[in-house]
Amino acid sequence: MNTIKPKISKPRFTDDTVGLVLRAKSLWHSYNQKNFVLEGVDLDLKEGMSMMVLGRSGSGKTTLIKILAGLIRPSRGQVEYFFDRDATPSSRVVAYIPQNLGLVRNLSAIENVLMGVLGRTPTVATMFGRFRAVDHEQAARLMADLGIGDKIDKKIWHLSGGERQRVAIARALIQNPRLILADEFVSQLDPVTSMEILAMVKKLTQNKIAFLATTHDVLLAKEYADFVVVMRNGKLIMPAAFKDMIIEEIMKDGYE
Amino acid sequence: MSKRFPTGAGIVIIVAILSVASFINLGLLDVSRWGLAFRNLAIFSRELSPPRWDILPVLLPAIWETIQISFAGTILGFLLSLPLAFLGTHTLFNQLITTVARGLVGAIRTVPSILFGIIFVIAVGLGPKAGVLGVALYTVGYLAKIYYEAFEAVDGEVIEAVRSTGCNRLQLFRFAILPETFNTLISQLLFMFEYNIRASTIMGFVGAGGIGYYLVGYVQMLQYQHLMMAIILIFVVIMAIDLVSFRIRARISAPRY
């Protein structure tokens, strides 16, 4: 497969890595060997922490998240993941939600959610569309928790934008991840629905699953993230800091 | 650098020169022959009518056989083209495997359907069995190419999202590529069946079953009124199948969001 395997270096558990799920060290990336999309990005993500990366279009947010998800190999630098210790076979450590969600429109909502367990289901069974009963239950439960319990057998194109977003979240959560990466999370939804969904995600992930999303919505980031960082021209111009401390600075800094 | 000659005009001039040259070489501009051709055509078309309706009992089973050859051949070719298209998809396999699969498909496509007919008549003897195999291989050459191109056109984000769940490529194919391309696959399959009615007719020319056998026989025995009847029958059948297939394809490929 032409997939680019993330370069996962053997994590070195030292004192300063306690509680870390991910550490990105001076990531540089270029698609054409000339212009750098990322210019030395450093990022630490702690267990159960939610972080939002703010930035305009073209600031390098998507590239960053794809590198963290292991879909692109950075030109320089590396990403370390620190969850070897008690990762169970039934958990995918990183779940990824792309910008346009990447749902398969011709399949039902629950089939899309169940894709999250493909990696831990025997291939032959999945070829006939069969999944374990426990996984079925977990999928149905997650969908109910997310408020789409009555949409289980609906095809994706019968669902609204908000419902699709919830299906994508359920597909991420069923992987029992330690970290969820979401690109331009809820950015295509109306403010009320986005708030609702973010509150829901916050409740479901709180203190258990680290959550990193990119967005261009300052207020959303302020409201729901523990940490906010700003990305500009391939650099994280504000290191991870408490949102209360920096939100005025973001405004003052003339973001957008 | 000097001023560039306009590319569009250049292409038109080259095509014009090549056309005239080939017309002259092939005798198309030889006016004396044209008179003869029209005279012969007039005689031929006079002899075509009236069509011999009384031979319908002979032709109907023959065209039914042609339809079956087309159907069986298309299905068989479809089953063979799926794995080849799977192996030929760059999103799933590396350059080496896709090149081999695509090379095979390309090689199959270079062989004209009638040659497949001859090959299988030699291999399995005269009759519809050879026709089915010939149509099947012919189908593989086209369907496999159309299919791997459809597979590769699947939205990259869907592929990434499903792949990020840690699935293998069979699962990726089953859960992302196949459902996303399903409508295209079916609609192209119907089109191929439609098209294969013609290919199956040709199969009869070399004794691989169906109505083509009669077609060639009538030409050789100068029975033009019989020939006319066969052509009318083929025309009606092709129009009917085209119409039904078009209706179904229009329903399948209606955009849904």
Query: How high is the pLDDT of residue A89?
Result: 53
**CA dihedral of A199, A200, A206, A208, whole degrees rounded to 10:** -150
Query: How high is the pLDDT of residue B147?
Result: 96
Strand, helix or coil at A37? strand
With cut-offs at 50, 70 and 90, classify the pLDDT of residue A245: low
Report the chain A residue with the minimal C-alpha distance to residue B156.
A102
Q: Do B165 and A94 touch (CB under 8 A)?
A: no
Mean pLDDT of chain B: 89
Q: Do B158 and A3 touch (CB under 8 A)?
A: no
Give the Å distances, CA to CA, from A97 to A146, A171, B3, B163, B191. Answer: 16, 9, 52, 11, 37
Q: How far is A249 from chain B (nearest CA, A)?
A: 34
Residue among B249, B250, B234 at smallest CA distance from B67: B234
Partner residue facing B163 (CB), from A3, A120, A126 = A3
Partner residue facing A107 (CB), from B165, B179, B257 = B179
Report the chain A residue with the minimal C-alpha distance to residue B183.
A106
A45-89 pLDDT per residue, tens: 888 888 888 888 888 888 999 998 888 889 988 888 876 555 555
Query: How high is the pLDDT of residue B4?
Result: 65
Q: Where in chain B is the domain with CATH 1.10.3720.10?
A: 58-252
Beta carbons of B78 and B138 less than 8 angstroms apart: no
How many contacts does A have with B, using Cβ atoms within 8 A? 94
Query: How high is the pLDDT of residue A3?
Result: 40
Query: How high is the pLDDT of residue A248?
Result: 58
> Within an 8 Å CB–CB cutoff, is residue B164 touching chain A?
yes
Beta carbons of A81 and A21 less than 8 angstroms apart: yes
Handedness of CA B55, B58, B61, B67 (dihedral sign): negative
Judge whether residue B253 has pLDDT over 80.
no
How crowded is the C-beta side of B60, counted as CA atoms within 13 Å? 5
Judge whether residue A43 has pLDDT over 50.
yes
ipTM metric: 0.82
On chain B, the residues whose CB falls within 8 A of the CB of A126 are 167, 171, 174-175
List own/partner pairs for B247-250 with CB under 8 A and 24 or more apart: B248/B190, B249/B187, B249/B190, B249/B191
Residue among B152, B151, B159 at smallest CA distance from B176: B159
Domains of chain A: 18-87+178-256 (3.40.50.300), 105-177 (no CATH)
Mean pLDDT of chain A: 81
On chain A, the residues whose CB falls within 8 A of the CB of B157 are 98-102
Partner residue facing B161 (CB), from A102, A105, A107 = A102
Domain boundaries B58-252, corresponding CATH code? 1.10.3720.10
Q: Do B160 and A98 touch (CB under 8 A)?
A: yes
B92-114 pLDDT per residue, tens: 999 999 999 999 999 999 998 88
Q: Rounded distance, CA A237 to CA A123, Å? A: 45
Query: How high is the pLDDT of residue A10?
Result: 53
Q: Rounded distance, CA A103 to CA A152, Å? A: 14
Query: Across-strand partners of A182?
Result: A97, A213
Q: Rounded distance, CA B241 to CA B197, Å? A: 9
Q: How far is B82 from chain A (nearest CA, A)?
A: 15
With cut-offs at 50, 70 and 90, classify the pLDDT of residue B149: very high
On chain B, the residues whose CB falls within 8 A of the CB of A105 are 179-180, 256-257
Residue bearing tokens 């350059």: B95
| Contact partners, residue A78, CB within 8 Å, separation at least 6 | A7, A9, A24, A25, A27
With cut-offs at 50, 70 and 90, classify the pLDDT of residue A244: low
A148-198 pLDDT per residue, tens: 999 999 999 889 999 999 999 999 999 988 889 999 888 888 888 888 888
A15-19, A204-208, B11-15, B129-133, range with the lowest pLDDT: A15-19
Alpha carbon B182 to its chain's center: 20
Q: Rounded distance, CA A235 to CA A3, Å? A: 26
A200-228 pLDDT per residue, tens: 888 888 778 899 999 888 878 877 888 88
Phi first, then psi: give them for residue B200, nearest 5 degrees.
-70, -35
Beta carbons of B158 and B180 less than 8 angstroms apart: yes
What number of H helices and E strands is found in chain A? 8, 9
User: How many Cβ atoms are within 10 Å of B117's Cβ, its own excluded?
Assistant: 28
Query: How high is the pLDDT of residue A215?
Result: 86
